[in-house]
Amino acid sequence: MTFDISIINIPTNPGIYLMKDSDGKIIYIGKAKNLKNRVRSYFNKNQNYKTQKLVENISDIEFILTDNESEAFLLESNMIKKYRPRFNIELKDQQRYTYLRISDEKYPRLLVSRRTRDGKFLGKGKTFGPFTQGSSKLLTIGTLRKAFQIRICKTLPKKVCLEYHLGNCEGPCEFKDAQERYPKHADSLEQVLKGKNQTKIFTKKLEEEMNQAAKLEQFERAKDIRDTLIRLGSLQTKQNMEYVKNSDEEYFGIEIQEQTAVVMNFRMINGVIRDSDKFFFDLVGDNSFSNFLYQYYSTHKIPKFILVSELPENEKLLESLLSEQAGFIVKIILPHKGKKKDIINLILKNITLIHQKGGDPGLVELKDILRLPVIPNIIECFDISNHGEEFAVGSMARFVGGKPDKSGYRKFKIKTVTGRDDFAMISEVIKRRYYRLLEENSELPDLILIDGGKGQLSAALNSLQSLGLKLPCISLAKENEEIYVPKNKNPIVIPKTKSSLKILQHARDETHRFGVAYNRTIRKNQIK
């Protein structure tokens, strides 16, 4: 069944899109200048076979907004490296953007800067970029290097080589006047790579050389200069998604809606925004942004700079505690302008997108954790209440939008099971409930929750299978609050602070309360 694109709100902003399968696994990551136009294009007719196979496997699509297409390009690359989506396999090993390095030598060279998977640049010197428009060949060994008389020899020779005789290098290896001029050449090159005023001067010079080459019918030379000018243009692009400098920063945005806080972060490592995550918590008791940050950094690496959309309460105390924990000074900063402010604004845009997608934030979180095909707006929870062998009842609480819908609560007097067999009782109750809904053609839930462990879950799944139903079904074991999911060997443990767990706990507790009350009523009436 093809994914219904009309059910989601697609922004028109630039950004990346993450396509997921029915298990919640990311199967494709793409970028777009206009997300709406690009994503909708996948669902047009006459697509190639590979695209058709991709579309057939889509169950959900998520978005991360950026300020421009270049940022989307860089973030897309980072996310592909992290998640390795199966439909992106051809892009795994391609170098999608380039950095240049002026080496840390007496007479520096211009080189391609390589980097490790964790974002660190290899080699000493100053790094510039990224360059997102094609190969860096002409920048490193072509017109740019020649214009500034930058050497290419790995080891400085004792006498000038062919490059000197070709006019590409002044020969600092042999001539003193060339040695004196070389630092100025390197500095001018650095200014160009930084995209500063020197770039305009150099660009004008290149344009004159290109026109002159064309007049002399030196068309190959003119083409080389033209290509270099194109690449120099990319130096002017503002990019928030990646810094060259080795900054150690993490960004947080927070918004509050109906007493629930939504927090989203961009994690920057070695100058590169490597990942993004989102969190939800209820504003109950001492819950606050400050408490969230302290709890977050109890299990995550602490950066030197934490940039936020609003300052947490007890800011100075929090800085002191985190600094003591990290072993260096930690600063919490509220940026007011520049690139840092732009990144904060991007996070807030993405939080707005979460709300637009619909549903209680805790339910959105639950969908992601459990890898559900849709947000579990309707949850039906089941429990068995036993009191001796004679008094056993089943109960069901219905939650809509994360809140109790008491008109939808149901109670069941066990009819087919004798003795204290909870598994069989769960099986009976599930079969009775959904056989009736199928007969009445009534709305089915988005998620079934069973109070219990693996055994109770297995019994419920067997009943659903006997009815030909494939509804998402999980169980919640009270002792350690472990969530059991079909086909998962190990249970899922959601942190106690998460809104998603609180919704499940509330549903489980309501079902238990309702069942106990019904059991008590039956016993009371029979005793009379």
Q: pLDDT tens digits, residue range 308-340? A: 999 998 898 889 888 888 888 999 999 999 888
Lowest mean pLDDT among 43-57, 252-266, 373-387: 43-57
- Phi/psi at 426 (5° precision): -60, -45
Residue 445, preceding peptide bond in cis (omega within 30° of 0)? no
Greater pLDDT, 78 or 171: 171
- The encoded tokens of residue 503 equal 């919704």
Greater pLDDT, 283 or 90: 283
d(C-alpha 55, C-alpha 45), whole Å: 11
**Cα R_g (the chain), whole angstroms:** 31
- Phi/psi at 409 (5° precision): -65, 145
pLDDT of residue 223: 74
pLDDT of residue 518: 87
Q: Please tell me the chain's helix, strand, coil percentages from 3-state DSSP, rounded to the nearest 5.
A: 40, 20, 35
Q: Which residue has the tokens 């709406």?
A: 36
Highest mean pLDDT among 70-74, 108-112, 330-334: 330-334
pLDDT of residue 444: 92
pLDDT of residue 94: 38
Q: What angle do CA 92, 95, 98 make, to 5 degrees?
A: 150
Q: At what angle do helices 315-326 and 289-296 cross, to 10 degrees?
A: 0
pLDDT of residue 329: 92
Give the domains, in start order, of the chain with CATH numbers.
Answer: 5-91 (3.40.1440.10), 98-131+133-236 (no CATH), 249-357 (3.30.420.10), 369-527 (3.30.420.340)
pLDDT digits (tens, 9 = 90+) for 226-282: 766 665 554 444 444 554 444 578 999 998 876 678 899 988 765 556 677 888 776
- 451 forms bridges with which residues in the sheet? 476
How far from 293 is each of 33, 56, 267, 312, CA to CA, in Å? 33, 40, 14, 9
Lowest mean pLDDT among 336-345, 352-361, 375-384: 352-361
Is the model's pLDDT at 95 over the cut of 50? no
pLDDT digits (tens, 9 = 90+) for 399-415: 988 888 989 999 998 88
Is the model's pLDDT at 191 over the cut of 80? no
pLDDT of residue 133: 44
- Phi/psi at 169 (5° precision): -150, 140
HEC letters along 108-171 = CCEEEECECCCCCECCCEEEEEEECCCCCHHHHHCHHHHHCCCCCCCCCCCCCCHHHHCCCCCC
Highest mean pLDDT among 79-93, 205-219, 353-367, 371-385: 371-385
Lowest mean pLDDT among 70-74, 107-111, 376-380, 463-467: 70-74
pLDDT of residue 34: 92
Give the residue among 267, 333, 234 at the shortest CA–CA distance from 75: 267
- pTM to 2 decimal places: 0.42
